[in-house]
Amino acid sequence: MAQGATGITLALTPSKDPTLLQEAGTALAQELSKRLDLPIKLYVAADYAGVIEALRNGTVDLAFVHPVAYVLAHREARARILVKSIRGGSATYTARFFVLKEGGPRTLDDLRGKTIAFVDPASTSGYIYPMVFLMKRGLVKGKDPKTFFKDAVFSGAHDAVLHAVLRRQVDVAVSYPHAPDTLLKDPAQRAQLTFIAETPPIPNDGACVRDGLAPDLVQRLKAALLSLNDPVGRPLLKRLYAVDGLAEATDVDFDPVREAVDLLGLAPPRR
pLDDT at 150: 98
- What residue ranges of the chain have pLDDT lower than 50? 1, 5
8-90+203-264 and 95-198 share one fold: yes
Cα-Cα-Cα-Cα dihedral sign, residues 229, 231, 235, 240: negative
CA distances 97 to 101, 114, 212, Å, are 12, 13, 40
99-110 residue pLDDT tens: 999 999 999 999
* DSSP bridge partners of 62: 10, 209
178-189 residue pLDDT tens: 999 999 999 999
pLDDT at 266: 82
Write down the domain spans for the chain. Answer: 8-90+203-264, 95-198
Write the class of the CATH domain 8-90+203-264.
Answer: alpha beta
Residue 96's Cβ-side half-sphere holds a number of Cα atoms within 13 Å equal to: 15
How far is the first Cα of the chain from the last one, in angstroms, to the nearest whole number? 19
Q: How far apart are CA 137 and CA 11, in angstroms?
A: 36
Residues in the chain: 271
pLDDT at 268: 66
Alpha carbon 261 to chain centroid, angstroms: 15
pLDDT at 1: 46
Residue 15's Cβ-side half-sphere holds a number of Cα atoms within 13 Å equal to: 27
pTM of the model: 0.77
Query: Environment class of residue 188 by beta-carbon count within 10 Å: exposed (0-12), middle (13-18) or buried (19+)?
Result: exposed
pLDDT at 3: 53
95-198 maps to CATH 3.40.50.720: no
CA distances 102 to 11, 109, 190, Å, are 39, 17, 13
